[in-house]
């Protein structure tokens, strides 16, 4: 049985959304981030990213991790790309060219979007310093967002003219910046694409489970 280690309030949303789309059975093994616990090493603490039993699975102590009948894999984007290729049908690549494009767009989002997008999500705009930090992050996102807007003005999806794992990977990274409406206001194709991704039953099912977890 496929196992996913982690919680919904983490980057595990990426493989968990994909698994909802595929309908693939799996076990979720709860592992919470240690920083969310007052005393992660205390007796009786829930299994977390500092727990010895989880470090035996992933020595880096990061979530999510995956065990597919003995094949252990870490890093959420590697997991989604692997799962889509093995189980995903049309959600995965049809040929090596599509596989290359799925890798390209996933890594593009991870390297060009994720860090400033997370900065926007994690920064409170209730001070001049916070507003300035958000403005800097938004400026860093202008070029990659323009690249995505141009691509999505000409294509319905990231790869292959259909919804694939590449859409999941990119959409879940862009979600971090979604609260900064100005980034999307002048990019209608990007905004419409993201809304369509998040309207899918697979995303809605994943998001409902995420919201059911303690914040």
Q: What is the pLDDT along the chain (215 residues), one digit of tens a residue?
A: 999 999 999 999 999 999 999 999 999 999 999 999 999 999 999 999 999 999 999 999 999 999 999 999 999 999 999 999 999 999 999 999 999 999 999 999 999 999 999 999 999 999 999 999 999 999 999 999 999 999 999 999 999 999 999 999 999 999 999 999 999 999 999 999 999 999 999 999 999 999 999 98
Domain residue limits, the chain: 2-89, 93-203
The residues near 99 (Cβ < 8 Å, ≥ 6 apart) are: 85, 93
Q: Is 81 exposed, middle or buried (0-12, 13-18, 19+ CB in 10 A)?
A: buried
CATH no. for 2-89: 3.40.30.10
Is the domain defined by 93-203 classed in CATH 1.20.1050.10?
yes
Question: Which of helix, strand or coil describes residue 6?
Answer: strand
Q: Decide: 17 and 202 in contact? Cβ < 8 Å.
A: yes
Place of tokens 């920083």: 35
pTM of the model: 0.97
Same fold, 2-89 and 93-203: no
Residue with tokens 């905004």: 191
CA 34 vs. chain centroid, Å, equals 20
């Amino acid at each position: 049985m496929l196992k996913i280690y982690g919680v919904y309030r983490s980057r595990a949303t990426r493989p968990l959304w994909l698994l909802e789309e595929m309908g693939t059975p799996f076990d979720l093994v709860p592992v919470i981030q240690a920083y969310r616990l007052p005393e992660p090493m205390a007796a009786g603490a829930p299994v977390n990213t500092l727990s010895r039993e989880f470090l035996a699975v992933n020595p880096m102590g990061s979530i999510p991790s995956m065990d597919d009948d003995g094949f252990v894999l870490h890093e959420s984007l590697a997991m989604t790309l692997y799962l889509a290729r093995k189980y995903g049908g049309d959600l995965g690549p049809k040929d090596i060219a599509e596989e290359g494009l799925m890798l390209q767009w996933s890594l593009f989002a991870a390297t060009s979007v994720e860090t400033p997008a997370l900065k926007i999500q994690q920064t409170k705009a209730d001070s001049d310093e916070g507003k300035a930090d958000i403005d800097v992050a938004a400026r860093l996102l202008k070029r990659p967002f323009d690249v995505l807007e141009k691509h999505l003005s000409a294509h319905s999806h990231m790869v292959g003219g259909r919804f694939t794992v590449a859409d999941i990977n990119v959409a879940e990274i862009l979600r971090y910046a979604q609260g900064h409406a100005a980034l999307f206001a002048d990019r209608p194709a990007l905004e419409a694409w993201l809304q369509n991704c998040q309207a899918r039953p697979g995303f809605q099912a994943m998001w409902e489970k995420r919201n059911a977890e303690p914040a």
